[in-house]
Amino acid sequence: MTPKTRHLGLADRLIQEFDRALRTIAAANVPARPNPADGAPESVEDPAARRQAAALMRVNHAGEIAAQALYHGQALTARNPAVRRRLLDAARDETDHLAWCEQRVRELDDRTSLLAPLWYAGSFAIGALAGLAGDRNSLGFVAETEKQVIEHIDSHLEQLPEQDQRSRRILAQMKDDEGRHGSDARNAGGWDLPRPVRNLMRRTGRVMTRTAYRI
């Protein structure tokens, strides 16, 4: 006899999400792929340049915590199992980004954002609401999010110390992955979001960026 697939109830799924949140925020995340910075020597020696690079990578780390939460929240409320799998697959790429950014912040003798639980909780709620709006709206939310993330990465590549090749390699790989996630979401049927929603997303991202840069 073929064993029956176990379908998780709401309580089980919420417990699963709580476990994911704890692992994202508190555990040492292990990447599935090699760090793109491997092989590049440490070249940032000036203390001011190191602080600048660390602050920017702290922002990126906070963004990856938010990305994990968004994908998990959207997957929780997705209607189509294929869409749910697509969201969770993208979240696994974001786990790599999270680990790489954390490693880089530590290499620069700095810390990650103290507000990680807030970034996760707020983003999870936003992701769950996006999922409740329907799968095509949720996929459109992914596409717009990734578009704005790429803009954010481009701005950081301009602000990083020119010699910081380790951080640059990490951000370059992240940019490639985010572009793929956005394209996949659009190709899967994601709708363009209304301008007011896009603008609200952009303003929210700026608040998080400015706060995580310092705290």
CATH number of the domain residue 100 falls in:
1.20.1260.10
Virtual torsion, Cα 38, 148, 98, 53, nearest 10 deg: 60
Tell me which residue range forms the domain holding 78: 44-214
Task: Give the CA angle between residues 100, 183, 155 to the nearest 5°.
Answer: 50
pLDDT digits (tens, 9 = 90+) for 48-100: 999 999 999 999 999 999 988 889 999 989 999 999 988 988 888 888 999 99
Residue 109 DSSP SS3: coil
> Residue 131 has which token pair?
């999922």
Question: How many domains would you assign to the chain?
Answer: 1
Q: Considering the domain boundaries, does residue 104 fall inside one?
A: yes
SS3 36: coil
Distances (CA, A) of 16 to 10, 73, 84, 99: 10, 12, 15, 21
Residue 14 lies in a domain: no
CA angle 24, 154, 116 (to 5 degrees): 20
- Residue 19 in domain: no
Of the candidates 82, 110, 81, 98, the one whose C-alpha atom is nearest the C-alpha of residue 20 is 98
Residue 20 lies in a domain: no
pLDDT digits (tens, 9 = 90+) for 145-156: 999 999 999 999
pTM: 0.87
Does a structural domain hold residue 23?
A: no
Q: In this model, does residue 4 exceed pLDDT 50? A: no
Is residue 26 assigned to a domain? Answer: no
Segment 171-198 mean pLDDT? 91
User: Cα–Cα distance between 50 and 63 in angstroms, integer?
Assistant: 20
Considering the chain, what percentage of its residues have pLDDT values greater than 70?
88
Structure tokens at 166: 């380790």
pLDDT band at 46 (very low <50, low <70, confident <90, very high): very high
Q: Is residue 85 part of a domain?
A: yes
